[in-house]
Amino acid sequence: MNSPKISLYGYRHAIIGCKKGKWKLKSEPDKDDTVHVNLYYDEDAPEIDPATKDVTWTGFGEFILPDYSRLVNFLDQMIADNEIKILGKNAK
């Protein structure tokens, strides 16, 4: 906690720049962004008030990139098909 150069990333919490906190999205992603967010973040279900049945988005969830297979999938999705083709041509 005393070294700002070290960051720790866990599923539910992180220590970044000597600050500990829970993972939370700043704003609710729209339907187009959800596909991309799901590559690195698993949102918790919205909270439902039993009395009023109101649904509240919290933004809390789980950062899933510490799972190596999900990290590889995330990195794979970042490379466009064109870039892969260019890399393949340059490798010959």
pLDDT tens across 32-58, in order? 887 788 889 999 998 999 999 999 999
Q: How confident is the model at residue 75 (pLDDT cuts 50, 70, 90)?
A: confident
Three-state SS letters, the chain:
CCCCCCCEECCCEEEECCEEEECECCCCCCHHHHHHHCCCEEECCCEECCCCCCEECCCEEEECCCCHHHHHHHHHHHCCHHHHHHHHHHHC
pTM above 0.85, yes or no: no
The residue ranking higher by pLDDT, 87 or 33, is 33
Dist. CA 51–CA 8, nearest whole Å:
39
